[in-house]
Copies of this chain bind each other. A is one copy, B any other.
Amino acid sequence: MKEKPRSRKEPKPRTNKAPKPGKRDENKERTKERILDVAMKLFQKHGLDGTTTKQISRQAGIAEGTLFNYFKTKEDLALFFFQKETDSLIEWFRGEKDLQRAPLAEKLFAIIHRQLEYLEPCEDFIGAVFFRSLQPRSKLSPLSLESQEFRIKYLKFIKEVLSEAEEEKEIPPLGDLGAYAVGLFYIGIVTHWLHDPSNGKQKTLAILDRCLQMGTRFVKKEGWEW
């Protein structure tokens, strides 16, 4: 039908869109979403160790090897939920103009609170991977760079938030240690949250609030130079 006797080469016929979305990328996107859906369901039901990559790939309708084209390891797959959350968290925070003007403790409360809400559906399997993602690797542990990047991204974000407070003289300069401390504190809070039987996890929220108030007040008064 459409004979295109272009003996020469120079025309760009496909001029619909600059970077054609393409069936390929579309499929990839769909496949990735399917994997994540299936994985989330299986992890919730059987836990991380109780779910095999074979199960995931079968239910997602792909070959076993394909799974590893999308996620380097099973752990990375589980961590991807948090990867995604970190991205959306940062975006969300940047949009909350009111929050930007609030005191530091309030900012951190909002940030951590939002994260806890996000983690709720993962509550049952999070413990198995989440902590590892925010903890130091030992020199010899060949853990994926992915989780390292995730960790660094989150800590950088926290550091930014703290830096703003530092610039406005709300707190004295803390350096990297500040973000580090918040990260550790976050781990503690999640730990408490996982165990918290109180309605709506109110108790964890109360502790969160109290600790942040106390922490910022203390740092303001005494600084970090010991």
| Chain A contacts to B: CB under 8 angstroms | 46-50, 123-128, 131-132, 135-142, 180-181, 184, 187-188, 191-192, 194-195, 206-207, 210, 214, 218, 226
User: What is the minimal beta-carbon distance from A134 to any residue of chain B, in angstroms?
Assistant: 9
Distance, CA A124 to CA B139, complexed state (A): 6
In the complex, A132→B138 CA distance in Å?
Answer: 13
Quickly give the copy total for this chain. Answer: 2
Give Cα distance in the complex from A124 to B201, angstroms: 37
Is B124 a contact partner of A128 (Cβ separation < 8 A)? no
Query: Which listed residue (B125, B135, B180, B214) contacts A127, Cβ 8 A?
Result: B135
Min CB distance A123 to B, Å, is: 8
Contact of A218 among B48, B181, B214 (CB under 8 A): B214
The answer to whether A142 touches B50, judged by C-beta atoms less than 8 angstroms apart, is yes
Interface centre among A126, A132, A206 (most CB of B within 10 A): A132
A141 in contact with B49 (CB, 8 Å): yes
Instruction: Determine if A226 and B206 form an interchain contact, defined as CB atoms under 8 angstroms apart.
Output: yes
Beyond A127-B136, A218-B214, is A141–B194 a contact (Cβ under 8 Å)? no
Q: Which of B127, B141, B181 contacts A137 (CB 8 A)?
A: B127
